[in-house]
Amino acid sequence: MASPAPAPHTLADFALAAEQALDAATWAYFNGGAGDEATLHANAAAWQALPLWPRVLQPLAGGHTRVALAGHELAHPILLAPVAHQRLAHPDGEWASALAAAAQGAGYVLGTQSNVPMEQVAEAVLADPGRGPLWFQLYWQADRGFNRALVQRAEAAGFEAIVLTVDAPVQGVRDRERRAGFALPPGVHAVHLQDAPAVPPADGTYCAGLPAHAPTWDDVAWLRAQTRLPVWLKGLLHPADARAAQALGVAGLIVSNHGGRTLDTAPATAQALPRVRAAAGDALPLVVDGGIRRGTDVLKAIALGANAVMVGRPVAHALAAGGALGVARMLRLLRDELEMAMALTGCRTLAEAGAHLLDPATAAVWEQAGPR
């Protein structure tokens, strides 16, 4: 009798288990990137390349991982990013990952391309007193009326913010996915887009006319006027875009390169984050994603100026490996690693995690200014 597979102890273990559980085409869909996948690999490598400079003999009694994000206190700074078509990984799909996030006090962002209706997800988690924030991610559609209806539906269901993805006016050149021949199987579809109006034709052949319907800064201003919910923008890397977003009064930014799935050779998010923070100043909340696989990565993100982080592919990996319990275990592992990294660097709280952890030359300046 074969012995059971060992329980995953790292996020990499979940990835290995998922690769064994999924067919090759689905694995290529979840794990592939754009082009030569330079940005995909650079994301993780950039976090790993940053050294942590620990301080010793620091007072650690009463330590915790709590953070403030957009006026709310979170048990820890980890959110689950919007990942499309989660029923490819597990029959329970987004319902399972949202339930796991709530059980672990993590924020959850439901994607437009969810396979489970937003109302079912909200009903499953809203009553949990220990849950994190519940947000809805919007992929801009060509019809403003349809966008308005989606946002109003999210409001009515109890979602607490709208996250507009702004870095995908067209799909990236995802060669690995195409080589594998990936296609959605019967029964797996984006339930929120079933009644979306057809994209009207556009003049010219530039990307088949799709960019003509991509959102602009005017659309961001319009969207803010359509909802009482705070609006976040996901997919900014350039400091100039951060300043433009701030001028429009958005609630926060998610520093992201779409997990390396859109523009290949875009900078790693660890490189972009401090530049966006410098451009936006201290007041605007920032979340970062892309290649975060260890608790040390989370700590480095906070030290570089993020208020919180998101993980994306690990959600699909953990779902495929163990459903809701797998996602809950993945989150707990990441939080445990964060706590240990904090203790080993002399950080009692995340407010003490500053640039001095990454560059000891800044320590004197940091100690004079106090924590961010």
Mean pLDDT over 218-246 rounds to 98
Type of residue found at 19: E
Question: Closest Cα partner for 177 from 331, 357, 350, 23?
Answer: 23
How would residue 276 be classed by pLDDT, with cut points 50, 70 and 90? very high
pLDDT digits (tens, 9 = 90+) for 253-264: 999 999 999 999
Instruction: Count CB-CB contacts under 10 A for residue 287.
Output: 26
Contact between residue 224 and residue 162 where contact means Cβ atoms under 8 Å apart:
no
The predicted pLDDT at position 212 comes to 75
Residue 203 has pLDDT above 70, yes or no: no
Cβ partners under 8 Å of residue 110, min gap 6: 82, 94, 98, 118, 121, 134, 135, 136, 137, 159
Higher-pLDDT residue of 70 and 288 is 288
Q: Is 64 one of the annotated active-site residues of the chain?
A: no
CA distances to 190, 281, 333 from 93, in Å? 12, 37, 21
Question: Closest Cα partner for 47 from 277, 301, 354?
Answer: 301
Residue 5 lies in a domain: no
CATH number for the domain harbouring residue 303: 3.20.20.70
Residue 15 lies in a domain: yes
Residue 3 lies in a domain: no
CA distance 242 to 236: 7
Q: Kindly state the tokens that stand for 323.
A: 């459903």
Phi-psi region of 57 (alpha: psi -120 to 50; beta: other; left: phi over 0): left
Contact between residue 231 and residue 220 where contact means Cβ atoms under 8 Å apart:
yes
Set 76, 90, 258, 317: catalytic member:
258
Residue 78 lies in a domain: yes
The predicted pLDDT at position 72 comes to 87
Residue 367 has pLDDT above 60, yes or no: no
Residue 369 has pLDDT above 50, yes or no: no
pLDDT digits (tens, 9 = 90+) for 114-136: 999 999 999 999 999 999 999 99
Residue 311 lies in a domain: yes
Instruction: Count CB-CB contacts under 10 A for residue 200.
Output: 10
Cα 361 to chain centroid distance, Å, stands at 31
Type of residue found at 369: A
What is the pTM assigned to this prediction? 0.94
Could you list the residue range(s) of the whole structural domain that residue 334 is in?
11-182+189-195+208-366
Residue 372 lies in a domain: no
Residue 203 lies in a domain: no
Mean pLDDT over 16-34 rounds to 98
The predicted pLDDT at position 368 comes to 46
Task: Count the domains in the chain.
Answer: 1
Mean pLDDT over 227-253 rounds to 97
How would residue 366 be classed by pLDDT, with cut points 50, 70 and 90? very low
Residue 4 lies in a domain: no
